[in-house]
Amino acid sequence: MERKVVGIIGLGLLGGSVAKALKRFTEYEVIGYARRGEVCSAALACGAVSEAYGDAKLVAQKSDILVLALPPDTNADIFEQLAPHLKPHTLVTDVASTKGRMVKRIYQYLPNHSTFVSIHPMAGSERGGFEMASDSLFTDATWIVLEDKGNPAYSEDDAKLLVQMGEAVGSMVERVSLHEHDHLVATISHVPHVTATLIASLAGESNKPELAYKLAAGGFRDVTRIAGGNPSMWKEILRGNATEIDQLLLELTQRIQNVRELLTSDDDGQELEKYLQKAHDYRNEYLQVKESERRLL
Amino acid sequence: MERKVVGIIGLGLLGGSVAKALKRFTEYEVIGYARRGEVCSAALACGAVSEAYGDAKLVAQKSDILVLALPPDTNADIFEQLAPHLKPHTLVTDVASTKGRMVKRIYQYLPNHSTFVSIHPMAGSERGGFEMASDSLFTDATWIVLEDKGNPAYSEDDAKLLVQMGEAVGSMVERVSLHEHDHLVATISHVPHVTATLIASLAGESNKPELAYKLAAGGFRDVTRIAGGNPSMWKEILRGNATEIDQLLLELTQRIQNVRELLTSDDDGQELEKYLQKAHDYRNEYLQVKESERRLL
């Protein structure tokens, strides 16, 4: 059965970029839902979608592939309403950055005739909204297709279709188990986000915030950049993955305690330098992985 | 008394950039010391200095202004050797990013005929060395001149001279008391550096570091960038400001504990969102301060 119509629920930065990228790089017909009329108009005007609706049910009824592109909890909430209106054999997917709590709810609402395979395009920006959406947001980004092989709602054929979609829009595709995913994204996305907000707060709640900002150089700028992200969206992301994040934040406080000991140890800083050298090497290994990804393209 | 010769002790990224910037933007004669002969050759070849020596004493003997541009402890060590060789009325300064421990030692060695006023140009890069030095490193950067008004070695006239020097090389000059300085730089530079190394280590010491690096997007890249800095240099910086950093790291663990509570609180995430909103606003205030600095130029 060939799937022709992709319906995108939510035309923000990610949903809008999926629409634009599919329009540019594939033969799919793309339709979309946005709550605000001006977003529908903008998406229609630039050709990102061929049809746009302010009622998500109308999109669900026409879609062969349904992409949930709202924040995780909102995806689950809206899918509860849409599930009874799906066409038979719909492939449901989502582009949220945390899965645990949301996926449990989606499985619960999913009709037996349809399948669900989750994806996570690792791309974004601290500035959201359709006006920031781009058909090249996924170029060179990692596009994760999540496996959940034991689950009856999971389909290996549909996972392959989503792998092809990721490749078509210029991403590097990785396949990861749903189980591993949330711990990994907590490590490389959610906990870094928390530390960015902590560093911004330390400066903002210091005795002289304005002077602190003036003295701040590139290090502060980069470490805090993602603290500028949308608070309401990040609230959902972080709470949707609270178990994994909590565990890593506990580990982080233990690691901070270790650094505090190294700062004042009477070994003339030898162990502190070893610690800094290791962090330096991890950062270089990360750069090498990214560099070899670029060479593969 | 007019001062004509600036001697720079250490021609790494900062010292080399001071040399190049003074050469380009001022009338000073610039001479320099570097341990490695090839750095002396490179600095001479590009005209950054008119004389270069592998013996720092030869630079100290000829300088009207002596700029210590090595890591903090190394500055203090070498100054102990150079102090007896200073010309009368030398203005001694340094460009290190931590002051506390180093400044105490410099005061101790400084001859009565000379003065010491510390500066801190807030510029740098995770990649060091003379080959990265640039005459525009200080353009648009903040250049702090540190006041220590009670101290007999401090000179207000010399502080003004260093203010003029900062303005000449294109920096925005701020005057801060020595006392406030180390707490502020711990907040906006040293603790952010520690968190960058912590996040790099969390990923590098996870079960699947290579997969973590592959999944990492722009947030991880930016939060960890400064973890790529020189471990031996950062060891000295962090230990030179250990008291302030330790206090802030303790505060950080308390703030992490607070975030952990917000993650799982039963208020539907309202307090977490407020926290994220505040961090978002601090980040925007920081951007506004930087933006208004740019407009002033």
* Cβ <8 Å between A223 and B280: no
Backbone angles phi, psi at B250, to 5 degrees: -65, -45
CA dihedral B276, B279, B285, B291 (to 10 degrees): -90
Give the tens place of pLDDT for each residue, B219-267.
Answer: 999 999 999 999 998 998 899 899 899 999 999 999 999 999 999 999 9
Give the tens place of pLDDT for each residue, A136-174.
Answer: 999 988 899 999 999 999 999 999 999 999 999 999 999
Query: Sign of the C-alpha dihedral, residues A116, A119, A125, A126?
Result: positive
Backbone angles phi, psi at B124, to 5 degrees: 170, -170
Give Cβ neighbours of residue A154 (< 8 Å, ≥ 6 apart): A115, A116, A117, A147, A148
Backbone angles phi, psi at A175, to 5 degrees: -110, 125
Instruction: Please tell me which residue of chain A has the smallest CA distance to B125.
Output: A218
Q: Is residue A295 over pLDDT 70? A: no
Q: Is B132 on the interface with A (CB under 8 A)?
A: no
Please give the pLDDT value at position A258: 98
Structure tokens at A288: 């090498």
* Cβ <8 Å between A200 and B228: no
Question: For the residues A68-93, what does the mean pLDDT come to?
Answer: 96
| Of B220, B287, B277, the residue nearest A230 (C-alpha) | B277
If you count DSSP H runs as helices and E runs as strands, how many of each does chain A have, helices first? Answer: 13, 9
| Of A190, A203, A287, the residue nearest A229 (C-alpha) | A190
Contact A32, A59 (CB under 8 A): yes
Question: For the residues A54-61, what does the mean pLDDT come to?
Answer: 98
Please give the pLDDT value at position B186: 95
Please give the pLDDT value at position A297: 52
Using CB atoms, pick whichever of B238, B272, B279 lies closest to residue A201: B279
Strands A119-122 and B91-94, by their bridges, are unpaired
How many other C-beta atoms are found inside a 10 Å radius of the C-beta of residue A141? Answer: 19
Q: Is residue A93 over pLDDT 70? A: yes
Please give the pLDDT value at position B142: 87
Structure tokens at B90: 């030398």
- Cα–Cα distance for residue pair B173/B262, rounded to 1 Å: 40
Q: Is residue A200 over pLDDT 60? A: yes
Please give the pLDDT value at position B146: 96
pTM of the model as a whole:
0.74
Please classify residue A157 by burial: count the beta carbons closer than 10 Å to its beta carbon, then call 0-12 exposed, 13-18 middle and 19+ buried.
Answer: exposed
Residue with tokens 């996870």: B206
- Cα–Cα distance for residue pair B23/B44, rounded to 1 Å: 12
What secondary structure letter does DSSP report for A209? H
Contact B10, B34 (CB under 8 A): yes
Q: Is A119 on the interface with B (CB under 8 A)?
A: no
Q: Is A160 on the interface with B (CB under 8 A)?
A: no
Give the tens place of pLDDT for each residue, B255-290.
Answer: 999 999 999 999 999 999 999 999 999 999 999 998
* Cβ <8 Å between A176 and B211: yes
Look at residue A45 and give its three-state secondary structure: helix
Q: Which of B177, B280, B286 to mutate to test the interface with A (most CBs of A within 10 A)?
A: B286
| Of B28, B235, B18, the residue nearest B119 (C-alpha) | B18
- Cα–Cα distance for residue pair A252/B257, rounded to 1 Å: 10
- pLDDT per residue as tens, chain B (297 positions): 688 999 999 999 999 999 999 999 999 999 999 999 999 999 999 999 999 999 999 999 999 999 999 988 899 999 999 999 999 999 999 999 888 889 999 999 999 999 999 999 988 755 689 999 999 999 988 899 999 999 999 999 999 999 999 999 999 999 999 878 889 999 999 999 999 999 999 999 998 899 899 888 889 999 999 999 999 989 988 998 998 999 999 999 999 999 999 999 999 999 999 999 999 999 999 999 988 877 655
- Cα–Cα distance for residue pair A220/A163, rounded to 1 Å: 37
- Cα–Cα distance for residue pair A78/A97, rounded to 1 Å: 17
Strand blocks (E) in chain B: 5-9, 29-33, 51-53, 65-68, 91-94, 115-116, 119-122, 142-147, 172-177
Instruction: Please tell me which residue of chain B has the smallest CA distance to A122.
Output: B217
Q: Is B128 on the interface with A (CB under 8 A)?
A: no
Amino acid at B276: L
- Partnered with residue B146 across adjacent β-strands are B176
Backbone angles phi, psi at B251, to 5 degrees: -60, -40
Contact B91, B145 (CB under 8 A): no
Q: Is B291 on the interface with A (CB under 8 A)?
A: no
Which region holds residue B47: left if phi is over 0, alpha if psi is between -120 and 50, else beta? left
Look at residue B36 and give its three-state secondary structure: coil
Please give the pLDDT value at position A108: 97
Which region holds residue A268: left if phi is over 0, alpha if psi is between -120 and 50, else beta? left
- Cα–Cα distance for residue pair B203/B210, rounded to 1 Å: 9
- Partnered with residue A116 across adjacent β-strands are A92
Please give the pLDDT value at position B182: 87
How near does any CA of chain A get to the CA of B221, in Å? 9
What secondary structure letter does DSSP report for A227? G
Q: Is A294 on the interface with B (CB under 8 A)?
A: no
Structure tokens at B193: 């550096």
How near does any CA of chain A get to the CA of B246, in Å? 6
**Any long-range contacts for A74-79 (C-beta under 8 Å, 24+ apart)?**
A74/A10, A74/A236, A75/A9, A75/A10, A75/A102, A75/A106, A76/A101, A76/A102, A76/A105, A76/A106, A76/A109, A78/A9, A79/A105, A79/A106, A79/A109
- Partnered with residue A51 across adjacent β-strands are A31
Please give the pLDDT value at position A100: 82
User: How does the average pLDDT of chain A come out, rounded?
Assistant: 94
Q: Is residue A125 over pLDDT 70? A: no
Q: Is B95 on the interface with A (CB under 8 A)?
A: no
* Cβ <8 Å between A260 and B251: no
Structure tokens at B266: 């039963």
